[in-house]
Chain A
């Protein structure tokens, strides 16, 4: 039998939020279709480094393994992406894994993305329905607009775009492309648009859309292929219009 092919992983680890990062290397048996999460699972079954040291298994976050929950985002060979759909066959080896350091690191590859969910509060990312009870028929919607909404509504708050954005970080308050573009989603909805001025005003504030430097990195990394820069541009226009309206309405 031919010798089992191995895949080498170089993993940036960190024992706690304030600890110093270090790297460890692991070898995992190659198999067709192997992805990064599956490889990390193999490390759990045999947490031994390439040089034979028994260590604590690597800590990371994952749920669905279908590229729909957004949990397993990490930096793989320098690029922010979902680990579950990162097939080994498509990656240069050795494969480097690191946490997305735009966010606070909890441990190893596990990060704290709560800031993104907080930003969704700020842009009022919801439709102000009266309640869950029956009110009336829901409004008819333009099927083309609904298709645009469907595209944006795929955003799984994974944080790839924040990790890739040069304007998200300690130097700026920018809430990042994903939460910003969600404002556009709710402004499209026939009931959601009633509160469009509130969302646009929120984006005028510090860390809002003016912090976007239009570097176009976000659209490159979005695992859901959302046309983030297109919608950011639309929003920019809407925010400007709202600013003028604010002046004249005074």
Chain B
């Protein structure tokens, strides 16, 4: 043991996945340099509210791991790698026990076992939860365990450091990163055996979304520009129930509906012509009702509000109603988020229905990885929301905390195996480390001396507007083509940004300018993939246009969407970056789907009927 060379793994990102990977690496005898924008305890995983899925079967429902598997694959509209999903759902109950031992204060039954709740797209109670702050509690448990390893010397934290790019050795193997201290603005190269990115989702590409301000996808875009393949970026989850805001859309958990919340709008009854509350999800999808998966619910809300004009107007909203549920029950099961609604809206959701609207929430797509979480760049791994694995075309609620934690249990040990495999070529030379650093220093110096007329934050706002306009709940090819054009214009305008802060101490403005360019480039990968996928699947719904470019409607006046096209598109979208033209290049790749035969999704009826 004593003579064994020490393995150094760099983990970028201290959310659930990064911390899980870190623990596994430490337990395996490796050392971790852990990089994060913020103290890892403030990572975005803590915004997850409703729970984490695992087949615990403690409600007498004969729930099974197979059901969880099937619900996930069916919910993902048959675009998820089925072997990967199988591994995840099998591990889920073990992960819950681990979190329980670590001290996560899960909500418990009167007998003291873990309580379970309903969640979307699943008929059995399968969601473990800690009130309505499950993500916060899970993240804290891992944060505490990582702190313990920090004391023991296994982990060195680099908090308030921003990842800039990876460094490859002469064989093209990733053997280090360049990062910047966000306070001193010092730029440093760090060598490692293997690098794991666990940098979360790209929500900020859309500006206002449920994501934290740190979820900008900048790291993912950076490695994409260095040759990493992106998988399925067009699949972005739009959460049906968020509180719209001008600074951010705040999530109102699916747990509200899991605990009995109902979504409705006013309408005139078609028969009696009286004004009534229309519980449209229950009407449209009798089998699942308010607990249809998120893509389905968001489309229904969109239809009711935008096409039927039945929502509250200006701004568009529908009601999410909990006011019929006893207040003490709500307090115990949903306390945290009800308080949040009260804090930010100033109305008590125990008494009046909440006003909500769909918002960008989660990216099913991300860096392409194999089932062991290796990217196509040797030595670079990815796990958590920043990878594309597990969710296919649509993620089920409460599967994200699961995939984040689970992927860390795979990427962590696998990174050590790779580090010890002898297949990593030579370590970076001093010159290679210094060259990479110098490049980033030059880039940063250039940015902080930018003197054009554009304001980066205003440009970011425009980017978000464009993406919401063209690549949201409903998409169509003319809009997506236009979107690509506008994104190229935005990228050009990026060159004309001016900064008012030219300094080198905690220069947040210059760092943001660098992130913004990465966001624009990632937005193009999303848009181009959406443009080329001529079908509707999961979160990607494409409107049929006629020869004149007009939207086609059916006899009832409803929009016609392209059908799912398994023959052409039951494939993973693979996007690579064409640096010369600053354009995404899209191709398709087969994936493993031999276990469950594809069938059409229909949430109006129960699965086995």
Which residues of A pack against B, CB within 8 Å?
Answer: 15-16, 31, 33-35, 37-38, 41, 44-47, 54-57, 59, 61-71, 84-85, 87, 89, 106-107, 110, 113-114, 117, 120-121, 125-129, 131-135, 137-143, 146-147, 149-150, 153-154, 156-157, 185-186, 189, 191-192
Give the distance to chain B from A231, nearest Cβ to Cβ, in Å: 14
**Residue of A at shortest CB range from B246?**
A38
Asked if A126 and B46 sit within 8 Å, CB to CB, the answer is no
**How many Cβ-Cβ contacts under 8 Å join chain A to chain B?**
188
CA distance A192 to B38 in the complex (A): 27
Asked if A57 and B94 sit within 8 Å, CB to CB, the answer is no
B477 CB within 8 Å of chain A: no
Asked if A31 and B246 sit within 8 Å, CB to CB, the answer is yes
Give the distance to chain B from A204, nearest Cβ to Cβ, in Å: 20
Asked if B147 and A117 sit within 8 Å, CB to CB, the answer is yes
Quick one: which of A67, A120, A135, A143 contacts B110, CB cutoff 8 A? A143
B72-113 Cβ-contact flags toward A at 8 Å (1 or 0): 000000000000000000000010011011110111111111
Quick one: which of B111, B457, B505 contacts A44, CB cutoff 8 A? B457
CA distance A139 to B102 in the complex (A): 11
Q: A129-B101, A138-B97, A153-B140 are in contact. Are A33 and B38 (CB under 8 A)?
A: no
**Residue of B at shortest CB range from A40?**
B247
CA distance A117 to B246 in the complex (A): 32
User: Which of B338-346, B528-536, B545-553 lies at the interface with chain A?
Assistant: B338-346
Asked if A33 and B506 sit within 8 Å, CB to CB, the answer is no
Asked if B136 and A125 sit within 8 Å, CB to CB, the answer is no
**Residue of B at shortest CB range from A71?**
B42
Inter-chain pairs besides A62-B213, A70-B41, 13 sampled, C-beta below 8 Å: A37-B247, A57-B500, A63-B42, A63-B212, A85-B340, A120-B144, A129-B102, A134-B98, A138-B100, A140-B111, A153-B105, A185-B103, A186-B103
**Residue of A at shortest CB range from B244?**
A33
In residues 503-535 of chain B, which contact A (Cβ within 8 Å)? 503, 505-506, 508-509
Give the distance to chain B from A215, nearest Cβ to Cβ, in Å: 26
> Which chain A residues border B47 with CB–CB below 8 Å?
64, 66, 68-69
Asked if B455 and A46 sit within 8 Å, CB to CB, the answer is yes
Give 27 CB contacts A-B under 8 Å: A16-B505, A37-B247, A38-B246, A41-B247, A55-B500, A56-B500, A56-B501, A59-B508, A61-B38, A68-B136, A69-B44, A84-B247, A107-B506, A117-B39, A121-B151, A126-B147, A126-B148, A127-B102, A127-B103, A129-B145, A134-B97, A138-B101, A143-B108, A146-B108, A149-B103, A156-B46, A191-B103
B180-208 Cβ-contact flags toward A at 8 Å (1 or 0): 00010000000000000000000000000
Quick one: which of B109, B340, B505 contacts A15, CB cutoff 8 A? B505
> Which chain B residues border A15 with CB–CB below 8 Å?
503, 505
**Residue of A at shortest CB range from B98?**
A132
Asked if B457 and A35 sit within 8 Å, CB to CB, the answer is no
> Which chain B residues border A149 with CB–CB below 8 Å?
103, 105
Asked if A132 and B24 sit within 8 Å, CB to CB, the answer is yes
> Which chain B residues border A133 with CB–CB below 8 Å?
27, 98
CA distance A85 to B24 in the complex (A): 36
B131 CB within 8 Å of chain A: yes
Asked if B23 and A132 sit within 8 Å, CB to CB, the answer is yes
> Which chain A residues border B246 with CB–CB below 8 Å?
31, 33-34, 38
Q: A38-B246, A56-B509 are in contact. Are A153 and B183 (CB under 8 A)?
A: no
Asked if A56 and B503 sit within 8 Å, CB to CB, the answer is yes
Asked if A33 and B103 sit within 8 Å, CB to CB, the answer is no
CA distance A2 to B148 in the complex (A): 58
CA distance A131 to B500 in the complex (A): 49
Asked if B147 and A121 sit within 8 Å, CB to CB, the answer is yes
CA distance A84 to B248 in the complex (A): 10
**Residue of B at shortest CB range from A45?**
B457
B250 CB within 8 Å of chain A: yes
Quick one: which of B23, B136, B150, B336 contacts A121, CB cutoff 8 A? B150
Asked if B461 and A150 sit within 8 Å, CB to CB, the answer is no
Give the distance to chain A from B346, nearest Cβ to Cβ, in Å: 7
Give the distance to chain B from A82, nearest Cβ to Cβ, in Å: 9
> Which chain B residues border A61 with CB–CB below 8 Å?
38
Give the distance to chain B from A144, nearest Cβ to Cβ, in Å: 9
Q: A55-B500, A63-B212, A121-B151 are in contact. Are A87 and B112 (CB under 8 A)?
A: no
> Which chain B residues border A35 with CB–CB below 8 Å?
247, 344
CA distance A52 to B519 in the complex (A): 31
> Which chain B residues border A63 with CB–CB below 8 Å?
38, 42-44, 212-214
B386 CB within 8 Å of chain A: no
**Residue of B at shortest CB range from A48?**
B500
Give the distance to chain A from B521, nearest Cβ to Cβ, in Å: 22
Which 10 pairs across A and B sit closest by C-beta, in order of nearness? A138-B100, A56-B501, A38-B247, A126-B144, A150-B105, A143-B108, A107-B506, A140-B112, A149-B105, A69-B42
In residues 333-374 of chain B, which contact A (Cβ within 8 Å)? 336, 340, 343-346
CA distance A69 to B246 in the complex (A): 19
Q: A41-B247, A126-B144 are in contact. Are A141 and B108 (CB under 8 A)?
A: yes
Quick one: which of B109, B213, B506 contacts A106, CB cutoff 8 A? B506
> Which chain B residues border A185 with CB–CB below 8 Å?
103
Asked if A125 and B144 sit within 8 Å, CB to CB, the answer is yes
B423 CB within 8 Å of chain A: no
> Which chain A residues border B108 with CB–CB below 8 Å?
141, 143, 146
